[in-house]
Structure 1
Amino acid sequence: MDYNTIISSIEENIATITINRPTKLNALNKETISELHEAFKSLDKNPQVRVIILTGSGEKAFVAGADISEFADFSAEQGATLAAHGQEILFDFVQNLSKPVIAAVNGFALGGGLELAMACHIRVASDNAKMGLPEVTLGLIPGYGGTQRLPQLVGKGRAMEMILTAGMITAEEALNIGLVNHVVAQTELLSFCESIALKIVKNAPLAISKAIHAINANYRDGENGFDTEIKYFGQSFGTKDFKEGSAAFLEKRKAQFTGE
């Protein structure tokens, strides 16, 4: 499928999605959000894809925020609809995807950009990255999950400070508070993310999917994460991947998983 605002490619079971609006610092607009949804949905269904890497084009920004020009004159009702729709088709969609998504955060990740990175399962930042949720400077609050995911990742106190001051933090600060998993030189960012992806690719795809859903279950209201873990643990015994994995272990060989 051809896209106007993103680039999607696949190599060695690893897909890479690049948000490609460099003149707008890769800001999210309606078209970009819609195309990202379609790309993630397509890759999630593609059996050749085991891991997805998400990044931004150029060296300045992962995503520098949302395209404010699209909603500057919105009413309260339109604003709520904007947030609900965006969360449903992109941010929650990515968080609950059955395949791991690694955010390669190159440069600025602000507002919706940081919210998108936080929706991914793993985050790696370039050493020049800057992150923040500056929505209160516009008279808004984060609307794509920022008030929920940031406290989950860094704790309530630090999240309060970041959101209420609208301050940006460096990549090293993000690493120290647990907002990102790793910080590397910008020239090494994609290759480092690919090295993580290759480690994941070696493992059982169905188990990876079930692990993602079990981990996410702990953060859903009304769902008992331990019960979800027990359910998926039991289901794993009925898969061909478990039979292959256990046989390979006992036979002291590398497993060849098929995702069945």
Structure 2
Amino acid sequence: MGTNRINGSLYTTIENKIATLEFGHPQSNSFPSVLLERLTDQIKTLSNNPDVSVILLKSEGDKTFCAGASFDQLMAITNKEEGSVFFSGFAKLINAMRNCTKIIVGRVQGKAVGGGVGLIAGCDYVLATEAASIKLSELSIGIGPFVIAPVVKHKIGVSALAALSLDPTQWKNAYWALEKGLYARVFENQKDLDKEIEILTLKLASYNPLALAAMKKSLWEGTQHWDTLLLQQAEISGELVLSDFTKNALEQFKRK
């Protein structure tokens, strides 16, 4: 599928039972609704594909992994319903990743903010480079990381979630994320990262797919209620994004 400047791009390739999903957007690989929806649908499709054992999730370019929600779209929200619909896009994506029968390996080559951190936490196993710092900036613009909070907490615990969300202007480096369990391994550069990803994904793809699917289920035990919880959390963000505080903060960010 080709690139569209407004809606971003999504490419899928399948080789050796490994499906590589590469998303991109000119604005630091951020997510407008259309791209969220396409990625969600693609993960659901791959979940039912018997020729796929492992999914590799990556983003375009060699800089930012994912800047989270599209600022342009956040600024365009005019009512509660629109807000709820936009944030529920992240809820549906995380639920699709969690319910997917395949192991999802994340390749993180650069910084991740907000929803991008949620996307990383939704992966089952993540490899990153030293450049892969993370930040949950939501409180600084008057909203909160409500949709992604459950998945981040599931992966790194409540104290690490607090450290990220209550210090929204502070970057945490890749080794902090490694120590907290968001990343499984961190590499000096992308060349080393990609070499290891190839080894890991080929190994995973050689294992019994039934055992992988059972393992996946085990990793997400106790999260079945997220199908409704994350959509409820989306409503909170959808309402907060309309506040004067947020409108002003987004305007200031846009001017920078």
* The two structures share one fold, judged by TM-score above 0.5: yes
SS of equivalent residue, structure 1 residue 52? strand
Identity %: 26
Alpha carbons 1:109, 1:130 under 8 Å: kept: yes
Query: Which whole-Å deviations, capped at 9, do the CAs of 1:123-156 have from their partners, x for residues lacking one?
Result: 11111111111111111111432x1122222221
Deviations 1:204-239 (A, max 9, x none): 1112112211331233459xxxxxxxxxxxxxxxxx
Q: Which amino acid in the other structure matches residue 211 of structure 2?
A: A
Give the Cα–Cα distance (whole angstroms) in 1 for the partners of residues 203 and 156 of structure 2.
26
User: What letter is aligned with 2:206?
Assistant: K
Inter-partner Cα distance in structure 1 for 2:208 and 2:99:
18
8 Å Cα contact 2:134-2:174 kept in structure 1: yes
Distance in 2, Cα, partners of 1:27 & 1:85 = 13
* TM-aligned CA deviation for residue 203 of structure 1: 1.4
Structural mapping, 1:142-153, within 5 Å? 142-145=145-148, 147-153=149-155
The higher relative CO (CA closer than 8 Å, separation ≥ 6) is in: 2
- 2:52 corresponds to which of 43, 49, 52: 49
Where structure 1 has 5 or more consecutive residues not aligned to the other structure, the ranges are: 223-260
Q: 1:162-212 CA distances to partner (integer Å, 9 max, x unpaired)?
A: 101112211111111212111012222233222221221121111211221
Specify which of 28, 36, 44 is matched with residue 31 of structure 2: 28
* Structure 2 CA distance for aligned equivalents of residues 118 and 3 of structure 1: 27
TM-score of the aligned structures, taking structure 1 as reference length: 0.78
- Once residues 121 and 31 of structure 2 are traced to their aligned partners in structure 1, the CA distance between those partners, rounded to angstroms, is 15
Whether 1:15 and 2:26 are equivalent positions in the alignment is no
Provide the residue aligned with 2:238 in structure 1. Answer: none
For 1:162, which of 157, 161, 164 is the aligned residue? 164
TM-score by length of 2: 0.79
Tell me, yes or no, if the aligned pair for 1:94 and 1:120 is still in contact at 8 Å. Answer: yes
Partner of 2:62: 59
Instruction: Work out the CA distance in 2 between the residues paired with 1:159 and 1:143.
Output: 11
Q: Is contact 2:56–2:104 with CA below 8 Å preserved after alignment?
A: yes
Instruction: Name which of structure 1's ranges 206-215 and 79-88 shifts more when overlaid on structure 2.
Output: 79-88
Q: Structure 1 residue aligned with 2:212, among 208, 211, 219?
A: 208
- Count how many residue pairs are aligned between Structure 1 and Structure 2: 218
> Hey, what's the Cα distance between the residues in 1 that align with 2:84 and 2:73?
14
CA contact (8 A) 1:33 1:86 kept: yes
Unpaired stretches in structure 2, ≥5 consecutive residues:
4-8, 227-256
Partner Cα distance (1:193, 1:168) in 2? 25
Are the aligned partners of 2:66 and 2:113 in contact in 1 as well (CA < 8 Å)? yes
In 2, Cα distance between the equivalents of 1:155 and 1:44? 27
Asked if 2 retains the 8 angstrom alpha-carbon contact of 1:127 and 1:186, the reply is no
Distance 1:106 1:69 in 2: 24
| Equivalent pair of 1:64/1:111 in contact (CA under 8 Å) | yes
2: CA distance, partners of 1:98 / 1:151: 22
| Partner residue, 1:95 | 98
Distance 1:36 1:73 in 2: 22
* RMSD between aligned residues: 1.8
- Aligned pair in 2 of structure 1 residues 221, 87: CA closer, same or farther (>3 Å)? closer
Displacement of 1:39 in angstroms is: 2.0
2:235 maps to which residue? none
Question: One-letter code of the match for 2:73?
Answer: E
